[in-house]
Structure 1
Amino acid sequence: MSNYPTLYILRHGETEWNLANRLQGHFDSRLTETGRAQAAAQNAILRRCNLSGFSALSSPQGRALITAQIALDGLGIDLATDAQLAEIGIGAWAGESREALLRQTPAARDSYDLYEHAPEGEGFAALYQRCRAFLDSLTGPHVLVTHGITSRMLRLILLGRDLAVLRDMQGGQGVVFHLEGGQQKRLTL
């Protein structure tokens, strides 16, 4: 495990496709009103943190970028985008219903497994490599705004855990994960 800088990691707020139980991957869906409220809650959480010297990076995907703009509003932190923070690629399954795909994919025990079995998808091993390279490139403390699976992968690497436990990593919208010194704290209102 490398000596990584202090990070705050946020997942985007709820989207229309989250609500409809559709996979998004590299496709995009608008934030719901609940999603905007979750991003505002992240803003309130970050306001309680000492962000002096922090930079902010967001996935360029609309749902993450809008969340970042709301979550960072008024905090005086410059925001840039980085494609390495995009959600795991799910190839031909982007936009599809989780339930329909589960019926068609006997190898998938649950919707989590769909990310690994997606035709032309990125897969967990490739996402691990992408996230590891991204983290290794960071030179200072950051607020990162990303997606559900990518957030879990980043935090798994930061905590020095094995890829086999990715499924067990906490998630959540409207929360902030603080990672420092190989430790994680889940911050809520």
Structure 2
Amino acid sequence: MSDYPKIWFLRHGQTEWNREYRLQGQLDSPLTAQGLADARRQARLMHAVLADTPALFASPLGRARQTADIALHGRAYRTDPRLMEIHAGGWQGRTRADILAERPDLVASGATPLDIYEAAEGGEGIVAFHARIRSFLRDLDGPSVLVAHGLLGQVLRAEVRGIPIPEAGALSNRQGCVYLLENGTETVLEAPE
């Protein structure tokens, strides 16, 4: 467990490509109606948090910014490229089904989405991804709200909780909730539908 400040982590709402099981990486697709509803659920959870004026950060990618605009009630936030999703090389924009059809070894091994991104030819890779997440976390100097991406959230949450990074892909990866990270523990905050 590392000594990081209190963090509220929000994964962006569902996108068109999430719905199609298409690897987005650092490409983008818009939020669906469900994704907008996800962000509105997060907004209901953030009222009390925002009253304490934590630092607000978001990935510069459109889906995270669209979510942040809703979930953070229009408050100003800073974008940081270190919060972008893992780059999936030439697999960005391809469907998971097409990739797995070409790579039966990933199916046989029970690969998680994080494992699939790790295997992407020309991709960023987990070591570099983890290093940029740690760089961002080390710069935090107080309670912070982060609006970013699913796989980034898994690796970030594993880092903060002291979970080995190879196990990060087994962590939940939900939209429409808020992950509260404090003192090496995680609490999932949920608003009613």
Superposition TM-score, scaled by structure 1 size: 0.94
**Secondary structure of 1:108's partner?**
helix
Paired residue for 2:31? Answer: 31
Query: Are the counterparts in 1 of residues 151 and 169 from structure 2 also a CA contact under 8 Å?
Result: no
The equivalent residue for 1:67 is: 67
Please give the alpha-carbon distance, in whole angstroms, between the structure 1 residues aligned to 2:156 and 2:4: 11
Contact 1:57 1:82 in 2 (8 A): yes
The residue type equivalent to 1:32 in the other structure is: T
Aligned residues: 187
Question: Structure 2: which 5+ runs fail to align?
Answer: none
Which SS does the other structure have where 2:175 is aligned?
coil
- Correspondence for 2:81: 83
Tell whether the 8 Å contact from 2:2 to 2:161 is kept in structure 1 after alignment: no
Contact 1:55 1:141 (8 Å CA) reproduced: yes
| 1:98–1:111 contact (8 Å) kept in structure 2 | no
Q: Are the structure 2 counterparts of residues 50 and 63 from structure 1 closer, same or farther at C-alpha, using a change threshold of 3 Å?
A: closer
Once the 2 structures are TM-superposed, how far is the Cα of residue 151 of structure 1 from its aligned partner?
Answer: 0.5
Q: 1:106 maps to what in 2?
A: 104
Listed as ranges, the matches of 1:1-150 within 5 Å are 1-49=1-49, 51-73=51-73, 77-109=75-107, 110=111, 112=113, 113-150=115-152
- Gaps of at least 5 residues in structure 1 are none
Compute the displacement of 1:51 (Å). Answer: 4.3
Q: Give the share of equivalent positions with the same residue, in percent.
A: 41
Runs of 4+ in 1 over 6 A off after TM superposition: none
Which residue is 1:156 aligned to? 158
Q: 1:137 to 1:84 in 2, by over 3 A?
A: same
* 2: CA distance, partners of 1:66 / 1:185: 24
Q: Could you say what the CA RMSD is over the residues aligned between the two structures, in angstroms?
A: 1.3
Q: Distance in 2 between matches of 1:103 and 1:111?
A: 15
Write the letter of the residue equivalent to 1:135. L
C-alpha distance in 1 between matches for 2:167 and 2:87: 20
Secondary structure in 1 aligned to 2:78?
strand
- The secondary structure found in structure 2 opposite 1:170 is coil
* Partners of 2:88 and 2:120 within 8 A in 1: yes
CA distance in 2, matches of 1:2, 1:61: 27
User: Which whole-Å CA distance do the structure 1 matches of 2:83 and 2:51 have between them?
Assistant: 20
Letter of the 1:52 counterpart: D
Shift of 1:131: 0.7
Taking structure 2 as the reference length, what is the TM-score of the superposition?
A: 0.92
Distance in 1 between residues matched to 2:169 and 2:95, nearest whole Å = 20
Shift of 1:124: 1.3
3-state DSSP class of the match of 1:49?
Answer: helix
The amino acid of 1:133's aligned partner reads S
- Contact kept? 2:42, 2:176, Cα under 8 Å: yes
